[in-house]
Amino acid sequence: MTFDHALIARCGAYCGVCSWKEPMNCPGCQAAQGDIFWGVCDVAKCSLDKDYAHCGECSDVPCGMLQATFDDPEHGDNGERLANLRAWERGEERYIAIGTFGDRKSGATGG
């Protein structure tokens, strides 16, 4: 699976495997610049304001706003976003798909 830097979501998700990307004609977080198909993303706007490609570049990761995203009952995750952000900050070209952390099946990570 190819890793595309343009599809890195600022919050730590990877837009390349998002099930909403094609049906909603979403260009991905980087191209959308915080104005996502569902509305304004405060996490992306904060990253943009600080001139970061993603939140992993911020010394406050995970801040309260990002933690609230991680903990969201409907769209949260089990640590995948934070793991991705830390990997991306180290320059690693890989991701863990949201909802697969701890999944022992092959293919849980990409790139």
pLDDT band at 46 (very low <50, low <70, confident <90, very high): very high
Confidence (pTM): 0.85
What digits encode the pLDDT tens for the residues 64-75? 999 999 998 888
> Confidence band (pLDDT; 50, 70, 90) for 107?
very low
pLDDT per residue over 55-99, tens digit each? 999 999 999 999 999 998 888 899 999 999 999 999 999 999 998
Q: How many residues does the chain have?
A: 111
Q: Which residues pair with 14 in a beta bridge?
A: 8
Given this model, what pLDDT does residue 103 score?
A: 54
Q: Write the Ramachandran bin of 37: left for phi over 0, alpha for psi from -120 to 50, otherwise beta.
A: alpha
